[in-house]
Amino acid sequence: MKNTIIANWKMSASLEGVHAYVSTFKSLKIPKDRDIIFCPPTPYLTFMDGALSGMPLYIGAQDCAASQKISNTGEASADMLKDVGCSHVIVGHSEVRQRTNPTQKDISAKLQNAIDSGLHPIFCVGESLEIYKINKTKDHLEEQLKALDALAKEKAPLKNILIAYEPIWAIGTGIIPTMTEIEDICAFIAEHISKTYNIAIPVLYGGSVKGKNAGEILSLPSVNGVLVGGASLDPKEFHKICMAD
């Protein structure tokens, strides 16, 4: 499967900064064998769509609404995100989960809305440090992955999903699991999906990915890409990750 490299800018950036970023990134060589997806804050999606047009680069949003009700003040629907040029949307990022406490039904609804709108959801799963320490990571992931059950009735929608394994304790901390642990968990997720739904879905790793560790992570057999937060804010560092092998 083609390696997918995702930049999650979270709430960083300014319009001026985004202009400068794009002009630096565009001056660098873009690898053809990778899908590169930028997830800027929602207000900059339209600008990014215009700035990257004609280039082999994709745009994603950082979340979408669980309900299509128009009375959802402050939210953006998957249809709207598609409208402004998104091909992808992150669903279930731990920072969003911690802030909004979504139910499993909400996560399923976001995934379904994204698929119905023609987007590829990047479905984030991952354990807290407490769960990791008591060795319950796999049980926890199995629970989180049950959000796919509601979609599994038809196999077709599932093939549009990417899974991102992001241990919460590795996000923004500079600490990452060992390569053996990353491989073990990503293989577990791929096997679980294949056994439960009889389909192959790409599994990405996220959490403190940098230019210096990206090559090693991307070379793991069960890792199909990376989701990058902090290190994606510098265009040269992110480019290094895009080129890593």
The answer to whether 137 contacts ligand PGA (rule: CB under 6 A) is no
Among 63, 127, 166, 183, binds ligand PGA (CB under 6 A): 166
What's the farthest any 2 CA atoms get from each other in the chain? 48
Among 17, 50, 172, 215, binds ligand PGA (CB under 6 A): 172
Which residues on adjacent β-strands are paired with residue 204? Answer: 164
Residue 203, classed as helix, strand or coil, is strand
Active site residue 191: no
Tell me the H-state helices in the chain: 15-26, 45-51, 78-83, 94-100, 104-116, 129-133, 137-145, 155-158, 179-197, 211-218, 235-243
Q: Which stretch binds ligand PGA (CB under 6 A): 114-122, 132-140, 152-160, 202-210?
A: 202-210
Among 4, 8, 77, 112, binds ligand PGA (CB under 6 A): 8
Catalytic residue among 95, 127, 166, 183: 166
Choice between 11 and 156, CB closer to ligand PGA? 11
Among 66, 227, 241, 244, binds ligand PGA (CB under 6 A): 227
Catalytic residue among 93, 95, 127, 183: 93
Choice between 56 and 172, CB closer to ligand PGA? 172
The interaxial angle of helices 211-218 and 179-197, nearest 10 deg, is 50
Choice between 76 and 171, CB closer to ligand PGA? 171
52 contacts 59 by C-beta, under 8 angstroms: yes
Choice between 17 and 50, CB closer to ligand PGA? 17
The answer to whether 228 contacts ligand PGA (rule: CB under 6 A) is yes
Among 7, 171, 217, 241, binds ligand PGA (CB under 6 A): 171
60 contacts 90 by C-beta, under 8 angstroms: yes
Active site residue 166: yes
In what helix (H) or strand (E) does residue 36 lie, and over which residues does it extend?
strand 34-39
Residues 6+ positions from 158 with CB-CB distance below 8 Å: 148, 151, 152, 197, 199, 201
CA distance 16 to 206: 27
Q: Which residues bind ligand PGA (CB under 6 A)?
A: 8, 166, 171-172, 206-209, 227-231
> Which residues are marked as active site?
93, 166
